[in-house]
Structures are given as C-alpha cells and as structure tokens.
Structure 1
Amino acid sequence: MMREPTLHEVTITSGFWRDRQNLNAAQAIFYQWQKLEATRCIDNFRIAAGLISGFREGFFFSDSDAYKWLDAASRIMFHYKDPQLIKLVDDFIDLLAKAQQSDGYLYTYNQIQFPRQRWVDLQVEHEFYCLGHLIEAAVSHYETTAETKLLSIAQKAADLLVKEFADSTPEYTDGHEEIEIALIKLWKATDRIEYLSLAKTFVERRGTIKLFPLKMLSQVLDSNRRMNLVAKMRQAWLREHPDHKTFKLPERNKNVVPFWAVPRFVVNALSGKYNQQHKPVADQKKAEGHSVRFCYLKTAETMLAQIPGQENRIQPLREIWTQMVTRRMYVTGGIGSLPLSEGFGRDYELDPEVAYAETCAALGSMFWSHEMANLTGEAPFEDLFEWQLYNAASVGIARDGCSYFYNNPLTSHGTINRAEWYDVPCCPSNLSRVWASLGKHVCSFDHSEIRINQFFSSKINIDSQRQIFLHIDSELPWGNQVKLRFDMEKPAPYDLIMRLPAWADGCSVLLNGEVIIVHLSSSLPGSPSANGLDFFAARWMRLSRSFNPDDEIVLIFDMPVRLIKQDRRLPKCGGKYAVARGPIVYCLESVDNSKDIMSVKVNAESLKSFCDATLMDGTWVIRGLDISGEPITFIPYMLWANRGKSQMTVFVK
C-alpha cells in the first residue's frame, strides 16, 4: 500500500509554493507570535505557571491559538533553521511544561479563573479541542526534531484523558471535534493503542447524548454565567491596575447577517446539528452544522476507516463528501453558507454575499479530502484539495503575511477588509501549518509505484538506499507545464501515476522530448454540481516502464479560460458564471474596473490571460471586454482586498 511521505522526504524547491513558504517562515510566523504576545495569549500560560501575576485574557479556547502556532512553527523550522524561531519554540515548550499540572491537566481558562473546576460545559468551552491542538503540535515537533519534551507533555495530557474518559458517558464528548484527529496521530507516533481506542470511542459516542437540547441549553447558560463572572473579576482587576494596557483589536468586518440567521443558529445549536450531536455518526448522511467541526469529525472518521476492520465506513464517507461538494460548496471551494452558525445551509443555499466560507473550514475540508485520497487512492479528492488550497484557503492570508480573512464571501459591496488580527485568530496559524507541510501532499509511493498528487516544484526522496530521487519543476498555477526528472545511478522500474485534473481540457505527455501515450484511468461516476465544478472528471495517467537516470517526463496541460455556470437554484448568482483558468478562480475588483462590477455581462471570446508586471509585483490576470466593449480585468480571487477596501464579485453574466 502506498504511503504519504514524511517532511524529511520531500522539499518544496521553487516556484509559487516555495515563495509562500518563504513568506510563511520569514514573516507570517513571527508576526503571529507578536500578536499572540500582544493579546496576552502567551501570558496566560505564564500566569498558569506562576511566573507572572495578571489577569487571563481572551476566550476560553484561546490556548488552541498558541498550540496551532507551535504546530506551524515546528513544521516550518524543519526546513528553515532559524535560530530565533527555534528559541521561541524551545522557550514556549519549557513554559508549557511549567504550566501543566502534575497529572497532565493543561487548560488555562480553568486553571486561572476556576481552579477547582475541570471538564465543564464541554459542548461549549472546548477543553478537549485545545488539548487536541496541543497533541497535534507535539506530534509535528517530534516528527521534525525527534525530541520528546513536547511529546511527553502531550502524552501526559492524553493519559489523563484516557484515565478520565475511556469508560465515561456520551456527555463527555467535546463540542468542537479535533481531539479525535490528534489522538489518532499520537497513536501513530507512539504506538500506544489506548489513544486510538479513545479516539474511536469519542467518534462513536457522538450523537448519543440523551435529552441533548436540555443539556445543551444548561451548558450554554452555565458557560455564560462563568463568562459574566470572569468579566466582573476582570473589571475589578482593571480598577486595581489602572496602568494595564489592553490590546485593541481592529474593527470587525461588517458581515452580511440576515434576520433569519439568529433563530436558525439557536435551532441548530439546541438540536445538536451545530456540533454534529443530533444523531449517531453512522446515521448522519448530510453535511450539517458548523463546517469546521463537521470536517474535523469526517477527517477523524476517514483516518479510522484506514485501519483494517473499519472498511464499512468508506462508502458512507464517500457519499457525504459527494453531497457536500455538489450541493453545499461554493465555486471557490468555500464551505459554510450560514453566518453565526458558521456552517452549512440547505442544499443549494449558497448566497455569495452571506457566504461565511471560513478559511479554517476550507482547511478542514482539505484535511478530510487528503485522508479520503489516502484511503481510496481516488483522484477527485486530490483535485478538491488543490482547488481549495489555491482559492478558498489561500485567500485567507494577505500578500505580506500580516493580515487575514476569517470569512470569505464571494461578493462584497466594500464592507469587507483584511484584518491585522481577530479576537478568534484560529485561521492564521492553521493556514501557516498547512503551508509549512505541503511537501507531505506532493506524492504517495511504495517500492513499485509513485503517485503524483500535487504539482508543486519539489525534490522527492523515493528510495534512500538506492538513492532514487524525483525532481518536479512546476509552472502551475500560472504556466501549463510540469517537468518530472529521475535522479538516480541505475535504471529502476516504476509505475508513475500522475493526476489529470478536472480543470484541464487535456494533457500532452512527453518522455525525453517525444510525445507518448499513457494509460488513463476511468473517471468516477458523479452527480451534477450546483457550483459547476466536476471533480469526478479527475483521473490518473499511468506510465509503466523502467526509468533511466535523467529520464524527463513533461506534462503540458490545456488551460483555457473557462466560464463555470452556476445552478439556477443558487441565490443571487444562479445562472451566472465564475471565471477560472487552471486551478485558479478569478474575480472582479472595483479598484481595477471603472464600471459597476456587479452587473458585468462578459464577452467570453475576448478573455485572455497574461502576467501584468505592474500589478501587485506581477500578477496573472484575465482581461477582456464586456458586451458593450468596455475593458474589464479579473484578478485571482485569493488576491483580492490586498489594496484596501473595494467591491468584489466572483460572478458575471
């Protein structure tokens, strides 16, 4: 069975993603640490450790933001040996060791504000969620450094969870899934079967809490009581410390929140749909509730399905993935159409202005698709991973790495802008940890097969003993050529399997300069898609032969400008078109266009793609004419709002 590579085996070497990894390592990760310090998120751990006095700041789940930063930093410093970053990581690990209680408990909200309380209001306050991100950070740090100090901290916390909850009732499942993924990863890192067992238990207990609406209401009221008490204590503390300076966050974006959003959120929360507690997991057939939580749950389920004896999970997972992709996903790959609920609406309820489409939701969907690809070996899952990476996820970070989007509408009338930071800054470090580990997504391989999943310029260590390497030189997402070159001393037989993306109209394959015929897998049966995308058209190209040293395979993709028609049932964009080329969705931004961008009727034959060296230090744009002959300019959706507030829309007539 093919496996994914480790970070040790793949290095992103150049091109689009190397530039972004450089930005991640040189700018974003340090900026995020500065904001965590400025908002006193890190001070919370110092207070818990008894190193300083003060008042805890931030939401009850803010520990997780620091853990995701630690996860991202651990992945980054594997390829970027920055002494400053290494010291920050080492010092933070030392701080966590001091803040952790002797039995493994680590949750600063309770440790500081309610030292006699634990595991309180789990459907609301996310203790397990926070520990999950601690564990994921520890596994990443162990994989990249082989050091065990952070892993030991995580294992102490996990051992406490096993002790407390292996035989507990369904009430002790967290309201925000994440611990399940983390425990499975910890099992893989340590071979401790009790971690896998607890992850499986948490998944299978979900949706079985009796009288859930009453218990959820009780927890919401109690959590609010606790927060109000903390607010009063904070005001008293501030009166005693008048010189204390509070970090002021930027003004929040004025999101479109329809009148019906509040009652629907209340119904979703009390029914259990919001956090996937409305019915047992095996009976959940639709993408429902908070979109990040849903995707984290499905990621954990898919990881479990990869274990022998769990094969019965595969088909239900495939069906619910299909339902999400074809009926409840925007053309950018964004998911979650409901504000407040931050989650899925009904089928075809994909309003581009109301769209929440949280950055973390796209990342969660990518985690799930990646595990589905590991499970099935099917190309559509890799296709969606790529589409969301370029569009719904990467729109979440600005070109300078220092401002972010939390939610990502597909149409804006000028009220949305990137923010320097958020009161819930979950997305920045989540995106950073994905960018830092893209090498693991390039390929899968074993002793006889190499499957190229993503076309990132990279160097892959296929076989250390035989010194077999594969170099990928990719022009994507702008150019249409990808070169693969074998670097080895002796010939070696392999089945080289390369993805033919659904966005490509075709592909020419050359071996050492000569056009060759490759075997194409059949496309999978799919369903009509509301967003106009057909990921089921993605296939595999197979080239089986004995490869010689310096053999070069060149892929030349057909990448025309495409108009992607939206289902007429979609609100406000039904029957309209999105413009795309290759894996990139484009948009109109008012700063580039003199006319009302919301009413553009495009002349499709006029659209041409090229690099504008004067735009944002060189950007591939699509230019053409509307039907009246007036020029129009489309920029990549992921780059909008990099020049201040402006109107934007993905859709044209």
Structure 2
Amino acid sequence: MREPTIHEVTITGGFWDDKQKLNADHAIFYQWQKLETTRCIDNFRIAAGLKTGFREGFFFSDSDAFKWLDAASRIMFHYPNPELIKLVNDFIDLITKAQQPDGYIYTYNQVHFPNQRWVDLQVEHEFYCLGHLIEAAVSHFEATSETKLLSIAQKAADLLVKDFADSTPEFTDGHEEIEIALIKLWKATDRIEYLALAKAFLERRGTIKFFPYKMFNQVMDSNRRMNIVAQARKAWLREHPDHNTFKLPERNKNVVPFWAGPRFALSALSGKYNQQHKPIADQKKAEGHSVRFCYLKTAEAMLAQIPGQENRIKPLHEIWTQMVTRRMYVTGGIGSLPLSEGFGRDYELDPEVAYAETCAALGSMFWSHEMANLTGEAPFEDLFEWQLYNAASVGIARDGCSYFYNNPLTSHGMIQRAEWYDIPCCPSNLSRVWASIGKNVCSFDHAEIRINQYINSEISIDSRRHIILHIESELPWGNRVKLRFAMDGPASYDLVMRLPAWAEACTVMHNGREININESSVLPGAPSANGLDFFAARWMRLSRKFNPNDDIELIFEMPIRLIKQDRRIPKCGGKFAVTRGPIVYCLESLDNSVDIMSVKVNPESLQPFFDTNVLNGTWVIRGMDVNDAPLVFIPYMLWANRGISSMTVFVS
C-alpha cells in the first residue's frame, strides 16, 4: 500500500482547508519575513559573497531556512502564489551560489571557519542542516518536478557518501535527521548509496568508544569556536556601529527546576541526550532529547519497511509502547525535562515543568506515520491524530503569526506566545506538516483503501479507471464523516476505516441504510500513565463492489470524557483531563472567575457548545463546579491567543 502523492490529494474544505489557507496566505510569508529580519537569509548571501556583513545566529540556523523552503515547496503546489514562487526560486538561486563546488554548504563554517569541516559533529549539527536541505529538495521535486534544488541536494549527499561511506562511529551526527533525508532522497532518485549511508549512520550510532571524554572535548571545542565568533562580532561592531541595533529574539520561557542543569549534563556526557549511549538495537526506552529520539525512530521505521529489515519491527513497537504509556502527556506532548528538552523517568510528567516541544510532537507524528506504514495498525494513526490536534497545533496562534516552542499543561501566566524565537525550529516544521496533511489521509493499492485520517479531501485512487474518493468530515468538532465514490463504473475494494479510541462506537450507513460492519480486534496494550488507550483504536472493514456515487456515512459516538491521570504523576496524579473527540480541553483564567487550579468539576454538568463570544467563535465545553460556579473549557490548542493568562488541563 502507498500514500497519495501531493498531486493526488486536495483538501476541499472544513477545518484543514482553513488551516492550509492560513498557512499559505499568512504564516509562510510571516516566517520568511522573520528569517530576513533575524538575518538568517543574509547568512547565505554572505557565504555566497553577495553581501558583506557578519553572520548571525546559532551554528544550526541554516536548518530554519531549509525547513521554510520545505514548507513553501509543499504549499505552492496547491496555492501557486506568484510571490511565494518567486521567493522560493530566488532562495534556490541563492543556495546555488552559496554551495561550494564539491557540495559543501554550512554557512557557520563557510563564513567563520572556512578551513574547517565536520568538526564537533555531536554538537554543531552539520549533518542536521544538510538533512533539512535534502528534505526540502525532495519536497520541491515532488511538487514541481524541477530538479535544480534536487541537484543541489544530491551534490551535498554525494559529498557525504564520499567522506563518510566508510567512516568510523565518531562521524555520526549529534542531532538525527540526515538519516530520514537520505532515505527520502534514495526513494526520489533510486540511488542506492544514499540508502546505504543512512543505514550505516544508524548502525554506527551508540558505538563510539570513550564517548563521555569525546563529548566533553567537543563541547569545549565548540565553546572555543563560539568565543572566537563572539570576539569577531565585537570587532565587527566597533567598525560597523550601525549593526549594534541588531539582536536575536529572546529564548522561549519555561519553568526550570534546580535539578535540570545537572541532569542535562549527565545526559549529554552519558550519550543518552543524543541516543549515543547504546547501539540502537539495545535501546529499550525513550531517552534523551525528544526530537532527536523521534527522528532516530522515524528513520529506523522507514528502514524497517525495506525487505530484509523486518527484525527491527518488534523493538520499534516495544519502545513506542513504552513512550506512549509511560512518558507521554495526555495532550500527546513528549519531553518532560527543560534544558535537555528530553524525556524524564517513567511517570515524570509534571504538567507545569512540561517541555513538550512542538517539534517533539511533530517528530512523534513522523514516527507514528512510518509505523502505520510499516505495520498497518490503527493505534499509530490514532496517536498521529491526537498529537496533530493537541500537542502540535497548540504551537501556532490563530493568526499564524505567533508561536509556542514548549507547551506546558499548566501555566501560572509565565508562558505566552512569541512572534519569533532565537531558535525558531518549530514554526516552519509545523507549516510543512500542515501543507502536506493530505498525504496522511489514506493509503491504498489496487484492492484496498485505508482511511487513516478523517479530513475533507478529494483523492485520486486510480487515475486509469477515474476512481476518486471524496471525504466530507465534521471532525474535529462534529461526529459525522461521509465517503463518496466518483467513478465511471463499479469497482471492488476493501474499504478500511479507522474507529478511533475516543469513539465508543460508530454507526455505519451505506446509501442511507444502516449496515453491520466487521471490526478488527483490539490490540493488546498496557496501562497508560496519561489515561489514554490508543490500542483501543481498530479498523472497520467494508468489502464489496462499489458503484458510482455510492455513499458511506460514519456517525461516531463523541462523548465528553474525563481522562484520569495515574497517581504517580507529580501535581496532577489522580486528576482528570476533559476531552471530546480528538480534542483536549483546558481552563483558561480569562473565561473563568474561579481559581482554575483548584476546580472540582461536576461531570454531569458538562455540555459541548459553540460559543460565538469565545475566540471569535469556537466549540467549548460549558459546565459547573461542585459549588455551581460556571466553567468554560476551551480547546487546549487555542489557549494563549488573547494575551497573558493562567491555564490548566487538569481538574478534580
């Protein structure tokens, strides 16, 4: 089975049509403006010799520009805005000029250390930046069939193959990403050496001898290099005082307990932080930096889909289960430790300290999507949906122009959205997912169509036989979905539809008549710290010959659920999260006169309600506390859109 290409699927209305238009009309242009004003794009002009100036930003800032290019390439296929197309083409021209003849491109070294390459790889992210360049190139090629950016990416990849095909484990990156990119490039070009290098990088990981000593030396050397840059910047400013007005945006705010620093240092030196502590086959727990971990597992799951790699499936399944049941918040957020931006111990899910980075949720979604491709099991698609609406989409404001980096589940007013960050990795990462969400709707082959996500869309299933599937969905707010076939004549398919874990049951109608349908058995799961049971998700199978304009309607039961937290979780153990359908709700102080941190809710009072007075109109849950004081719960993904406020997901 395969997912539709960007050419075969179109979002046709509803919730995700609005999001894609926001992405295409506002967010992507706003992000480019911020990349310009923070001088991220100027770094490429300086590296290309087109401009004099001082390279600004972190050593990994190239990746932020490449992720923007990835998102823009995906957007412009369905929204061919001439202004966006020009920005993309001009930036590709700039990258061409900045890239060195042998394929090397990494502006930090090119500008500040022109005679150095591949140094401090555990710290400075050269491979990570190249990975995002390659991913952008594959997206651009898929959207346009043009090869200019793909050729740039292949030059960079060919350099990696030349330098590292036979290298030692020391030459694996500190931030996984290149592995995903090389596998995608192999699929786009059929160049087997890219797959071989991705596999080698994975299998060398966790085998560096004397890692703590080498990691310490790389941290010290990287700091030395940063000090050289800082001194050079001071000298530049003395000669160019007009540059003095420039500074990067502030760092994201988060609660940092006293123990966070020492634990970060120990994680980094042990190798857990960047998954270098053991060979990947021996890693049994979700540990270290959560984005890096998920990118590593995504690449492993991609590799496991290749014949001969089936031995990877069971360990991937087990570690996914361990993460979801012991180290994930009820929103689907992952990463409970600040500073290290990583996983804590089992049940260490403090809602106020929660880091739950937007990129970590996206990384987990990438992994779950590949696990669904690998196994065909419904729980992976169920988690994808849950994180999409909660842990990921909370990362962008309603106007597309302010963001969250980290996403706590309880806040006393310290956390608020920012227009940009000094490390702006999340905005364009989220934009590229939104831009191509149609590819996640279904999978199909000549005999089966599997509906993974209920999103308004039109999918070309078989262009030869002119078979098109139309999906009309009320989700995430409503409970009805309609599927309709448009085709020239009858066609036989197994239509397989996900019954989400949040739906207690589903009524299925065929051409207006209720029918019985086969359901797959529920997979064995495990008790979950966050109270969610993704293993309850299953498939509904309808096998028959479908006729033109056949209509299948799904009516999901969508009750308000109170999800109890394991008592071992700090601060919210034994409390409840309020959910309906795939949406987690929260209390925000702006809507409630009571102390939201100590609310005891009357569960019988809770009712869904579309409120035109809240956030310019949205679905809320209204109810009463045990003292009959009114309560308003809003979708967690929409909090902090009205200024500073307190918020909590949990009630008694």
TM-score range, shorter chain: over 0.9
Alignment correspondent of 1:75: 74
Structure 2 residue 123 is matched with structure 1 residue 154: no
Alignment correspondent of 1:20: 19
Unaligned runs of 5+ in 2: none
Residues 470, 484 of structure 1: 8 Å contact kept: yes
Shift of 1:489: 1.4
Residues 132, 181 of structure 2: 8 Å contact kept: yes
Residues 213, 270 of structure 1: 8 Å contact kept: yes
More displaced 10-residue stretch of structure 1: 4-13 or 634-643? 4-13
> 1:69 & 1:197 partners in 2: Cα distance?
28
Residues 100, 106 of structure 1: 8 Å contact kept: yes
> 2:550 & 2:613 partners in 1: Cα distance?
38
Structure 2 residue 633 is matched with structure 1 residue 648: no
> 1:40 & 1:77 partners in 2: Cα distance?
24
Quickly say closer, same or farther: Cα 1:627–1:255, change in 2 above 3 A: same
> 2:47 & 2:106 partners in 1: Cα distance?
9
Alignment correspondent of 1:169: 168
SS in 2 for 1:604: strand
> 2:251 & 2:123 partners in 1: Cα distance?
23
Alignment of 1:82-481 (within 5 A): 82-244=81-243, 246-481=245-480
Provide, for residues 312-353 of structure 1, a one-character-per-residue CA deviation record: whole Å limited to 9, x for no partner. 000000000000000000000000000001000000000000
Provide, for residues 13-55 of structure 1, a one-character-per-residue CA deviation record: whole Å limited to 9, x for no partner. 1000110000000000000000000000000000000000000
SS in 1 for 2:528: coil
> 2:557 & 2:384 partners in 1: Cα distance?
20
Aligned AA (2:506) = C
Residues 104, 159 of structure 2: 8 Å contact kept: yes
Aligned AA (1:601) = K
Unaligned runs of 5+ in 1: none
Residues 253, 415 of structure 1: 8 Å contact kept: no
Shift of 1:572: 0.3
Residues 251, 423 of structure 2: 8 Å contact kept: no
Provide, for residues 544-566 of structure 1, a one-character-per-residue CA deviation record: whole Å limited to 9, x for no partner. 11001111100000001100000
> 1:403 & 1:245 partners in 2: Cα distance?
26
Alignment correspondent of 2:628: 629
Shift of 1:616: 1.4
Structure 2 residue 614 is matched with structure 1 residue 618: no
> 2:115 & 2:441 partners in 1: Cα distance?
47
SS in 1 for 2:88: helix
- Runs of 4+ in structure 1 deviating by more than 2 angstroms, as ranges, are 245-254
Residues 253, 417 of structure 1: 8 Å contact kept: no
Aligned length: 652
Residues 588, 634 of structure 2: 8 Å contact kept: yes
Alignment correspondent of 2:63: 64
> 2:467 & 2:249 partners in 1: Cα distance?
51
Alignment of 1:527-538 (within 5 A): 527-538=526-537
> 1:136 & 1:494 partners in 2: Cα distance?
34
> 2:11 & 2:385 partners in 1: Cα distance?
16
Quickly say closer, same or farther: Cα 1:76–1:254, change in 2 above 3 A: closer
Residues 404, 421 of structure 1: 8 Å contact kept: yes
Provide, for residues 86-125 of structure 1, a one-character-per-residue CA deviation record: whole Å limited to 9, x for no partner. 0000000000000000000000000000000000100000
> 2:530 & 2:254 partners in 1: Cα distance?
22
Aligned AA (1:240) = E
SS in 2 for 1:414: coil
Alignment correspondent of 2:481: 482
Aligned AA (1:477) = P
Alignment correspondent of 1:520: 519
Provide, for residues 595-639 of structure 1, a one-character-per-residue CA deviation record: whole Å limited to 9, x for no partner. 100000000000000110121121000000000000000000000
Alignment correspondent of 1:539: 538
Provide, for residues 210-254 of structure 1, a one-character-per-residue CA deviation record: whole Å limited to 9, x for no partner. 000000000000000000110000011011001125444554454
> 2:385 & 2:96 partners in 1: Cα distance?
38
Residues 250, 419 of structure 1: 8 Å contact kept: no
RMSD over aligned Cα, in angstroms?
Answer: 0.7
Provide TM-score, normalisation by structure 2.
1.00
Residues 207, 281 of structure 1: 8 Å contact kept: yes
Quickly say closer, same or farther: Cα 1:252–1:644, change in 2 above 3 A: farther
Aligned AA (1:592) = D
Aligned AA (2:468) = F
Alignment correspondent of 1:43: 42
> 1:187 & 1:488 partners in 2: Cα distance?
34
Residues 360, 431 of structure 1: 8 Å contact kept: yes
Aligned AA (1:92) = F
Shift of 1:255: 1.4
Aligned AA (2:107) = T
Provide, for residues 363-386 of structure 1, a one-character-per-residue CA deviation record: whole Å limited to 9, x for no partner. 000000000000000000000000
> 2:251 & 2:592 partners in 1: Cα distance?
26
> 2:128 & 2:566 partners in 1: Cα distance?
37
Aligned AA (2:145) = A
Alignment correspondent of 1:559: 558
> 1:486 & 1:531 partners in 2: Cα distance?
39
Provide TM-score, normalisation by structure 1.
0.99
Residues 38, 247 of structure 1: 8 Å contact kept: no
SS in 2 for 1:54: coil
Aligned AA (1:427) = C
Alignment of 1:489-504 (within 5 A): 489-504=488-503
Alignment correspondent of 1:575: 574
Aligned AA (1:234) = R
